[in-house]
Structure 1
Amino acid sequence: MKIVYLHQYFRTPDMSGGTRSYEFARRLVRNGHDVHVVTSDTDAAPDARRTWRTTVEAGAVVHWAAVPYRNAMSARDRLSAFGQFARLAATRAASLEQDVVFATSTPLTIALPAVYSSRRRRSPMVLEVRDLWPEVPIALGALRSPLTRRAATALEGWAYRNAAHVVALSPGMAAGVRARHPGAAVTVVPNGCDRALFADADAAGQALRARTPWLGDRPLILYAGTLGFVNDVGYLVRMAATLRRDRPDVRVAIVGQGAETARVRELATRADVLGRNLFMFDQMPKTEVVAFFGACDLAVSTVRDEPALHANSANKVFDGWAAGRPVAVNHEGWIADVLRRSGAGLVLPPADSAAAAELAGAFVTDPARTAAARTAARAVAATEFDRDLLFESFEAVLSRAVAPRSALSAIG
């Protein structure tokens, strides 16, 4: 198949951020498909807008549009970046030969260039949903006016109507799509565990501990991801304050950047935990963050206490399991169900960070419990969320989308 893969925030392992699209793109190439990725160069200088550069990443041709983007941007600047990329990507995608165009959100505006290319090239479009629209932005207060809510709802419906198939990252997201659009064809392909990338996590973690005086052989709780409004990383700061009082040997590490970085740092300073039992690090490439996962005793994924966020499929959860580490979340939903069923981590109370600190602190200081949870984490990574297993479902969705067109071509 000739596949045009649209993802505004495509990342390779040498960059910070999630690498789902990279991992799927390279596997598509490995299986003989021709893959062109259309994405944005978010680190481009502001005066470089409307320019393109092209690279080859693991056999996939990647087209980078110079559209700067930061999590710390204002809502207006973010919307501007979404619009700029949609315009540039539409023209570039439609210029490429394609049997199918695959578009992954967020943002949902990725559907605009995808549908344009699909119609111009008369190719099917497959849409991947990483967040439920418009439920999540409404719950977070990003869409406050009736006009913006109606516009978001209209864009969502239009995107689904134009999709030959929808890929959802969790059962909850799939249920949300089906509830609003009963006729939609939906397949769940969750985020996955890149076990090969994390194969040396244990050794890398030991090396990190050996060269890090504040850590040494102390228990470590890790948050590695975006520090955005939705993530509520202040929850970890509040946990650290309780841990410093009750379990001063436990360390908390936060690795990442985002709109809330300065606020989290200020909270940690006011709580007198920064540089004492809580340590903050800038975002780093996926290949480097492996050492932090390998060093930790518990990887944590936090979100605000909003039911609309319970369907999330955070990369950091699967990276923790890929490294053979227990994971904790502070919300209900399908990930919490997996944790309770498998024993591969903990479910922390969403509104009580002190109780969460007690649960997590007792866990990471109990070698027998952490050892059992590590075994469970490795089992979950290998049997349920291995990237190669999930890729088979992903590739099958694209093949089914192309099949009707191929049959018509054969008849003609």
Structure 2
Amino acid sequence: MGETNDYKNIWIFHHYATPPTLNGFTRPYNFGVNLNEENYKTTVFAASYLHFSDMNLINDGRPFTEEDHSGVSFVFVKTPSSSKNTLARVKNMAVYYKNLLSVAKKYAKQYGKPDLIIASSPHPLAMIAGIKVSKKLNVPCVSEVRDLWPEAIFAFGKTKESSLLGKLLITGEHWIYKNSDALIFLKEGDTDYLRDRKWTTEQGGDIDLDKCHYINNGVDIEAFNRQIENNVLEDEDLMSGNFNVVYTGAIRPINNVGNILDAAKLLKDQKNIQFLIYGDGNQLSMLKQRVNDEGLTNVKLKGYVDKKFMPYVLSKSSVNILNYSQTKYNWSRGNSSNKLFEYMASGKPIISTVKMGYCPLEKYDCGLSLEKDTPDELANAIMHIYEMPNETYNKMSQNARVGAQHYDYKVLTKKLISVTENVSS
């Protein structure tokens, strides 16, 4: 990497990146803070329109705005607001790509070029920009594949793989994998996808598996524990001494939270078991209506709660529910949701409504996975944990805490450094 500085300069292109004070993806920030301690300087290039907060940081002619967060530089590239409209979101992605190319050029002139670029999906344009800018500046580009895109689009039926658009997207995906100096996948089994496509060099393709690496999402355990101490949520249900079955997250069709209500209905005679659901979404009012109509006195829908209280909430649970649909997604390659690792860090057993490949719950024996995502199976799993001997329950809780340490951002940053050094040499 660059010899002129006493530190190494890394640029991260990530459309939805934010510092933890804002709503969005904090993975680049978490890496940045830890990279700073390892003699790296991190600059994150994100979009000015914050999709998850519906606010735009630039409402004038400036091409970008800069902010410093704990030593991590954020460059917010001007993009139009896109709210919930699909066409506007596509335009927002395209403008981010176009403006990122010119902002990166200006930024390199002003501050010097980076030693390395990490370009992250969810959409491929950030990775295409990363590859193009890296070629111009003659530095390596590592592409980080957060979700297998366009596979996710095909899974949700937005377009068919056999359509012209589908074929174009796959051609673009292949181009990105081939032209990146290294690839980071967030799920352990994602390289299985390259084999399924017969793209690997061992199958006669042009993508060398030696340049593929796995660094999942994770949790900042130190910050997590600090938040438990400092951000206490005054909530009598958490302190009731009941067996708390907790779900946190969005309440939308894909999260299938109605399934938890169905399980609660089956357990309504268990006076010590209560279901606490934290989160907001377009199905919240419908579920509130159900709780009312069906007399589900063992369910409390808490609505939106600030993210900073989540560590405390999870620490007061008895069991945490990872609630997914088995049919809407291919779970065979693993799961890298932040929620999974936060649940583990809380040191409480976890029930997953899907059986994942490469599963941490099995690996660390810290939870149960359902064969079928039915209310009966979920209710049985809850009863199984409720009736466990204390010794078994405490062991499972301890396993979750120990397992989480493998996904701490300090550990993940060491992995990232090893990828960057490998590419740079």
**Do they fold alike, i.e. is TM over 0.5?**
yes
Q: CA deviation at 1:308?
A: 1.7
Structure 1's 47 and 127: CA in aligned 2 closer, same or farther, altered over 3 A? closer
Q: CA deviation at 1:250?
A: 2.6
**Alignment of structure 1 residues 268-347 onto 2, 5 Å:** 268-272=288-292, 277-282=299-304, 284-285=306-307, 287-306=308-327, 308-310=330-332, 311-334=334-357, 337-347=359-369
The answer for the alignment partner of 1:159 in structure 2 is 176
Paired letter, 2:342: D
The answer for the alignment partner of 1:128 in structure 2 is 144
Q: Please state if 1:80 is matched with 2:104.
A: no
The answer for the alignment partner of 2:414 in structure 1 is 392
Q: Which moved more, 1:146-155 or 1:367-376?
A: 367-376
The answer for the alignment partner of 1:172 in structure 2 is 189
Q: CA deviation at 1:120?
A: 2.0
Tell me if structure 2 keeps the 8 A contact 1:237–1:278.
no
Residue by residue over 1:304-348, the C-alpha shift from the partner in whole angstroms, topping out at 9 and shown as x without a partner, is 22352443311101011122222222212235x331242211112
Q: CA deviation at 1:371?
A: 1.8
Whole-Å separation in 1 of the counterparts to 2:388 and 2:22: 35
Residue by residue over 1:16-58, the C-alpha shift from the partner in whole angstroms, topping out at 9 and shown as x without a partner, is 4542221111111221112110012314249838743211112
The answer for the alignment partner of 2:217 in structure 1 is 191
Q: Which moved more, 1:45-54 or 1:74-83?
A: 45-54
Q: Please state if 1:139 is matched with 2:155.
A: yes
Whole-Å separation in 1 of the counterparts to 2:285 and 2:264: 13
Larger radius of gyration: 2
* Aligned mate of 1:110, from 102, 126, 146: 126
Percent identical among aligned pairs is 20
Whole-Å separation in 1 of the counterparts to 2:255 and 2:416: 27
Tell me if structure 2 keeps the 8 A contact 1:101–1:125.
yes
Residue by residue over 1:93-126, the C-alpha shift from the partner in whole angstroms, topping out at 9 and shown as x without a partner, is 3333112110111122221321221122122110
Whole-Å separation in 2 of the counterparts to 1:323 and 1:278: 21
Q: CA deviation at 1:198?
A: 2.0
The answer for the alignment partner of 2:377 in structure 1 is 355
Paired letter, 2:221: R
Paired letter, 1:222: V
Structure 1's 155 and 321: CA in aligned 2 closer, same or farther, altered over 3 A? same
Paired letter, 1:217: G
Structure 1's 179 and 186: CA in aligned 2 closer, same or farther, altered over 3 A? farther
- Match of 1:171, SS state, is coil
Provide structure 2 residue ranges, at least 5 long, that are not aligned to the other structure: 1-7, 201-206
Identify which of structures 1 and 2 has the higher relative contact order when contacts are C-alpha pairs closer than 8 Å and 6+ apart.
Answer: 1
Tell me if structure 1 keeps the 8 A contact 2:33–2:71.
yes
Paired letter, 1:232: N
Residue by residue over 1:241-295, the C-alpha shift from the partner in whole angstroms, topping out at 9 and shown as x without a partner, is 333x2435433333344xxx1224313422437885131321523x322111111
The answer for the alignment partner of 1:266 in structure 2 is 286
* Aligned mate of 1:224, from 239, 248, 265: 248
RMSD of the alignment, in Å? 2.8
Structure 1's 13 and 296: CA in aligned 2 closer, same or farther, altered over 3 A? farther
The answer for the alignment partner of 2:47 in structure 1 is 40
Aligned residue pair count? 392
Provide structure 1 residue ranges, at least 5 long, that are not aligned to the other structure: 404-412
Tell me if structure 2 keeps the 8 A contact 1:344–1:374.
yes
**Alignment of structure 1 residues 42-57 onto 2, 5 Å:** 42=50, 43-45=54-56, 48=59, 51=62, 52-57=64-69
Whole-Å separation in 2 of the counterparts to 1:362 and 1:269: 29
Q: CA deviation at 1:85?
A: 1.7
Whole-Å separation in 2 of the counterparts to 1:186 and 1:50: 40
**Alignment of structure 1 residues 354-393 onto 2, 5 Å:** 354-364=376-386, 366=388, 368=390, 369-382=392-405, 384-393=406-415
Tell me if structure 1 keeps the 8 A contact 2:275–2:298.
no
Structure 1's 282 and 88: CA in aligned 2 closer, same or farther, altered over 3 A? farther
